[in-house]
Amino acid sequence: MKRSKVLGIVMAGGEGRRLHPLTRDRAKPAVPFGGKYRIIDFVLSNFVNSEIYTIYVLVQYKSQSLIEHLQASWRFGGLLPEQFFISLVPAQMRLGQTWYQGNADAVYQNLHLIRNFRPDMVAVFGADHIYRMDLRQMVSFHQEHGAQVTIAAIPVPIEEASAFGILQVSADGRITGFQEKPASPTPIPGDPRHCLVSMGNYLFTTSTLIKLLEQDALQEDTTHDFGRDILPPIIGQMPVYAYDFHRNHIAGEPEGAPPYWRDVGTLDAYYEASMDLRNVTPQLNLYNQLWPIRTGTSTFPPAKFLFNDWDRRGVALQSIIPEGCIISGGFVIDSVLGRNVYIHAYSQVEWSVIMDNCRIHRHARVRHAIIDKNVEVPPGEEIGWDLEHDRKRFTVTDSGIVVIPRDYVFRR
């Protein structure tokens, strides 16, 4: 079978309101994750590992941090052919005096890029999720079924499904119904506990995508959204298929291992995905060299652990400790640290996410917390031990996770 020419379009303009305050100063795809990555690194790694090297990244909301990260971390070298690129596309008001009005409108405003590249298919993927996926397998499925549109799909528990687009499918995977974020989701036939949901990742035959976007642009009663306005009307009108993400196998992973996908749209979901990294056998294995998660390099030195006294010993257990960190007589367990974090003597960090450049000073105790960049926790401070007190100062999630915003300064 002739190898198809695939263009990637990554939707990275998401505001991420439910992740506030982590998205107070940055777009959701720019939120740090896993010690050294950003959320967007996962979708871009999936494209590059799948040998799709032609990618436009559409940005809009508070994009400066994201732009700086992509410019520093995702430049292809000059030795690669000109047709290989990861290119940033800010909203430019090319077709009127408005910014992007929805994810479909964002692609519509950049149809000239698609026409200039002339791909056989366009992969329109979100940048909001933590997952690994070999896109080549989805492309093969699309071709084998003669699909015009293919939607990546995954089963989720029915109590969580109302936040997603719900798919009904026939035995061969053809989509027979589509509900966008319904209050009462339709379960999978024979499995009343789960629904088949759209992952927000779409593969279009190019001519079909252009036609659908041009038709939507002429409509008045539309939100210009793929899930609400573009996809539901074409169900039954053309071959639209669901690609079962559970069929996707990643090189280097055991046969039959379930694929990993997390929607990190809320603070609790973000926290849980972070905790997935620190197990002995992690649900998300960052150490698979056959499917690396790529990001920029840093100039920080290796991590260092100091002191071995009976009452002062630098220790980290079941934790992610990136470069530049110094565990100076403090204790860290079941946590994910960012780069250049300093844990001072007699301090304690457990079940927490501590982002870049934070300092946990002597005798401070932190548990069940997310601390954004550049925060200094004063000596003797306690976070996560008295939630009533924490709620007066910070965001505290429904599950009791204390979230401290970037650059927060404690009152002395």
For residues 116 and 222, membership in a common domain is answered with yes
Q: Would you give the DSSP letter of residue 319?
A: -
For residues 376 and 236, membership in a common domain is answered with no
Reading the block at residue 391, the tokens are: 């709620």
For residues 222 and 319, membership in a common domain is answered with no
Q: Is the confidence at residue 362, as pLDDT, over 90?
A: yes
- Rounded to the nearest 10°, the torsion over CA 398, 401, 403, 409 is 120
Q: Is the confidence at residue 81, as pLDDT, over 60?
A: no
Q: Which residue has the higher pLDDT, 368 or 311?
A: 368
For residues 263 and 400, membership in a common domain is answered with no
The CATH number of the domain where 382 resides is what? Answer: 2.160.10.10
Give Cα 303 distance to the centre of its chain: 26
For residues 229 and 308, membership in a common domain is answered with no
Report if residue 296 sits inside a domain: no
- Give the span between the Cα atoms of 373 and 357, in whole angstroms: 6
3-state SS, one letter per residue, for 47-94? HHHCCCCEEEEEECCCCHHHHHHHHHHCCCCCCCCCCCEEEEEECCCC
The continuous run of DSSP H or E covering 209 comes out as: helix 206-217
Among 195-199, 268-272, 355-359, the minimum mean pLDDT is found in 195-199
Q: Is the confidence at residue 409, as pLDDT, over 80?
A: yes
Mean pLDDT of the chain: 92
The CATH number of the domain where 62 resides is what? Answer: 3.90.550.10
The structural domain count of the chain equals: 2
Report if residue 47 sits inside a domain: yes
Report if residue 282 sits inside a domain: no
Question: By residue range, what is the domain housing residue 321?
Answer: 304-404
Cα distances (angstroms) measured from residue 357 to each of 207, 325, 326, 363, 383: 48, 9, 11, 19, 18
pLDDT given at position 374: 98
For residues 214 and 311, membership in a common domain is answered with no
Report if residue 409 sits inside a domain: no
For residues 40 and 183, membership in a common domain is answered with yes
Residue type, 290: L
Report if residue 285 sits inside a domain: no
For residues 339 and 255, membership in a common domain is answered with no
Backbone phi and psi for residue 5, each to the nearest 5 degrees, phi listed first: -90, 115
For residues 145 and 13, membership in a common domain is answered with yes
Global confidence as pTM: 0.94
Residue 56 near residue 110, CB atoms below 8 Å: yes
Burial class (CB in 10 A: 0-12, 13-18, 19+), 266: middle
Cα distances (angstroms) measured from residue 395 to each of 30, 385, 401: 20, 14, 8
Q: Is the confidence at residue 175, as pLDDT, over 60?
A: yes
Mean pLDDT computed over 302-319:
96
pLDDT given at position 144: 95
pLDDT given at position 283: 85
pLDDT given at position 62: 85
Report if residue 86 sits inside a domain: yes
Backbone phi and psi for residue 25, each to the nearest 5 degrees, phi listed first: -120, 5
For residues 216 and 316, membership in a common domain is answered with no
Sign of CA dihedral 173, 175, 178, 184: negative
Q: Which residues, listed in sequence order, are joined to residue 327 by a DSSP beta bridge?
A: 305, 343
Pairing of strands 37-38, 129-131: unpaired
